[in-house]
Amino acid sequence: MKRPARMSNGFTLVELLVVIAIIGILVGLLLPAVQAAREAARRMSCSNNFKQLGLAMHNYHSAYKQLPIHGVGTGSPDGGAAPFGTTAATTNWWTNYGDSNAWRLSALIGLTPFMEQQALWDEISNPSFVDALSPGTPLSVAWPPMGPTVQFIQYRPWVTEIPMLRCPSDPGVGLPAQGRTNYAACLGDSMEWSVRGPKQHQAAQGGEVVANSGWAQRSLAADRGTFVPHKDSKFRDILDGLSNTIAFGEILTDLGDRDTRGTQSINGNPPNEIRLNPSYCIDNNQIDPDRPRYWAPATPTENANNGRGFKWADFRPNFSGCHTILPPNAPIGGGNNSGQTGMFPPSSRHQGGAHILLADGAVIFITDSIEAGDPHHEMVWQTPTDPTSSPGSQSPYGLWGALGTRASRETIQEQLNQ
């Protein structure tokens, strides 16, 4: 008599391998969708941060009848001692003395009480005895109101990261940055004079900035953005319309990887090369042909602690400013150091573009392919002998350049917020 065949309740090896393969394929198909959904959420969060910044800007204007000054500060009175400075008035505006901020503070500082950072503003606007390197030990002599120059890492506000100023898609964190920002003031479609403005710092006069006729003439010609260094601006100055003018642009922060958007190339005769040809770095083979998002190995770049967006409190364009010359995510066109004027396009870790904040408070995502005119055209600046770049000229950088100017009377025919 035959024995009945025994029934198996388990999987065969082949069946198990087939199931595992199917699961692997499904996971492979699902992961990109999950990653895309996460990035979409981060991008929406970034947009929301920008909207909050726009509300802060409008509330500031309602309170003070002007926009916060980009390049604001206080003088250096005699006897204004600081823990790491001097008891006398500063006599050199670029020294490391701690009794003056040298009028190098960004517009973001004035917005802090309007973006739920009242405690931080109180510490900035009053004498502070806190040493950020040793917070448990009060200083014997206070930092002055409005703080020292921004390079002092001992001053706690300057190394404080403000969540509302950070894009969730940007992974940059910590040193050598001193408080990163992903949002920067729009300085217009020309880099000429955008680190100086119409006034000159005078250490001999108590550290004040005073009007300079030559500087004012060059600034009036070239500083065409919503924000002008060392000068107050109002919504009434934006003759092109608040809905047609960029107030802030998104920027990524440097990761120390020689990304062309995160650190600037160093050129020998700033700012002439870039001012005369915004594509100078590209035309002179400063970009790695095998990795076009990075500088070539032989290209000198900025010092490690002067990366893009590294100092939210510093008004210099490298840290908290942007231009509408080359389109978003184009390479930075740098001078010989971060203190010199350079060309700094908006940028982001989002795919294909970057956010901008219009002066009316609207947030728009601008793609890298926006119409941006002639990338080799000389910038507009004070040069009476050259009619192609004379003051009042139409922006040579197309729709993108027109969005960056506040009063060039250029008609915007595109629907930006579709």
Q: Going residue by residue through the chain (418 aa), what tens digit of pLDDT does each one get?
A: 555 555 556 667 777 788 888 888 877 777 676 666 777 788 888 999 999 999 999 999 999 999 999 988 887 655 555 665 555 555 454 444 556 777 889 999 999 999 999 999 999 988 888 888 888 888 877 888 888 888 888 889 999 999 999 999 989 888 888 899 999 999 999 888 888 877 766 554 445 566 667 777 888 888 899 999 888 899 999 998 898 899 999 999 999 889 999 988 887 665 678 888 888 888 888 999 999 899 999 888 887 788 899 999 999 999 999 999 999 999 998 776 666 678 899 999 998 899 999 999 999 999 999 988 999 988 888 766 666 677 778 889 999 999 999 988 877 766 666 5
Chain centroid offset of residue 218 CA: 23
CB 265 within 8 A of CB 299: yes
For tokens 């917005």, name the residue. 111
Closest CA to 147 of 164, 130, 165, 166: 130
* Phi, psi values for residue 250, rounded to 5°: -80, 140
Q: Does 272 map to a domain? A: yes
Q: Does the residue 156 lie in any domain?
A: no
Q: Pairing between strand 199-202 and 321-322?
A: unpaired
Residue 121 domain flag: no
Predicted TM-score of the model (pTM): 0.86
Q: Which helix (H) or strand (E) holds 321?
A: strand 321-322
B/e letters for 148-182, b = 16+ CB within 10 Å, e = fewer, are bbbebebbbbbbbebebbbbbbbebeeeebbbbbb
Classify residue 99: in a domain, yes or no: no
For residue 266, the enclosing domain spans 37-70+163-404
Calpha distance 147→125 (Å, rounded): 8
- Residue 206 is predicted with a pLDDT of 47
Q: Does some domain include residue 128?
A: no
DSSP label at residue 225: S
pLDDT for 197? 76
The pLDDT, as a whole number, for residue 276 is 85
Q: Is residue 252 part of a domain?
A: yes
Which amino acid, 52? Q
Number of domains the chain contains: 1
What per-residue confidence (pLDDT) applies to 192? 83
Would you state the pLDDT for residue 161?
92
Question: Is residue 56, in this structure, part of any structural domain at all?
Answer: yes
Q: Is residue 94 situated within a structural domain?
A: no
